[in-house]
Amino acid sequence: MLLSACKKDPCKNTVCLNGGACVDGSCLCTNGYSGANCQTPPNVCAGVSCLNGGSCANGVCVCTEGYTGSNCSQQVSPTSMRITSITVTSFPATDGGAGWDLTSGADIFPILSLGGTTLWNSPNYVTNANPSNEYLFTPSPSIVLSSPTSQYTLRLYDYDSPSPDDYMGGVNFTPYNSTSGFPTTINLAPSGAAVTFRLTVSYVW
């Protein structure tokens, strides 16, 4: 009995933090803490998966711009978009078999419109454009699309002033789609289109 009474307490020098309890000299931790002294907090981001470039902080997803929701899976609709460049990627070599101009190629320029309103009419045109080349137009300032879910129209013309310009072809498009992410390059090339374009765009939320 005497020996037993003198036995050292194995928990005498053991400190258990964060609500842990010492049992036989070892800490029994609670609330997800771990470590010899229950000093290591639980990894609250374990098992939290944040999509679309989001990252976990304190167990909660912090989403990148344009995304929301508990795991950043939902897109935030942009309030507007901007077109920073328009590339003409193809156009017909002839006007129904005849040349666009009497003795030379088409002098191309695009026009962007929304409904019946012209939003941008290229101030410059490319003389004698070659149908096997691509042509870049850079609006300055960039074109604001204030209604990204509306249908816009981009058309290509052959400059013929003082005669009326010839319409060469065009594409209808809706700039923003709630399920396609936020691409910065948009190809406007529906099958069968005589004239096709490639846009570079940015988003404003």
Cβ closest to Ca ion, residue 50 vs residue 106: 106
Contact window for Ca ion (CB under 5 A) among 3-11, 120-128, 153-161, 184-192: 153-161
Decide: is 171 part of the binding site for Ca ion (CB under 5 A). Answer: no
Find the DSSP H helices in 39-147: none
Q: Which CB, 125 or 197, lies closer to Ca ion? A: 125
Give the CA radius of gyration of the chain: 33
Applying CB under 5 A, which of residues 32, 160, 178, 205 lies at the interface with Ca ion?
160
Residue 3: which H helix or E strand, with range? Answer: helix 2-6
> Which residue minimizes CB distance to Ca ion?
107
Angle at 148 between CA 138 and CA 175, to 5 degrees: 60
Are 40 and 108 a contacting pair, CB within 8 Å?
no
End-to-end CA distance of the chain, in Å?
A: 78
- Give least dist CB 105 to Ca ion, A: 8
107 or 182: whose CB is closer to Ca ion? 107
The rounded distance, in Å, linking the Cα atoms of 198 and 201 is: 10
Other beta carbons within 10 angstroms of residue 196's beta carbon come to: 19
**Shortest Cβ 102–Ca ion spacing (Å):** 9
Binding mask 14-33 for Ca ion (x = CB under 5 A): --------------------
Residue 2's φ and ψ, nearest 5 degrees, are -65, -45
Nearer to Ca ion, 105 or 148 (CB): 105
Question: Binding string to Ca ion for residues 92 to 111, with x set by CB under 5 A, is what?
Answer: ---------x-----x----
Q: Give the binding site for Ca ion (CB under 5 A).
A: 101, 107, 158, 160
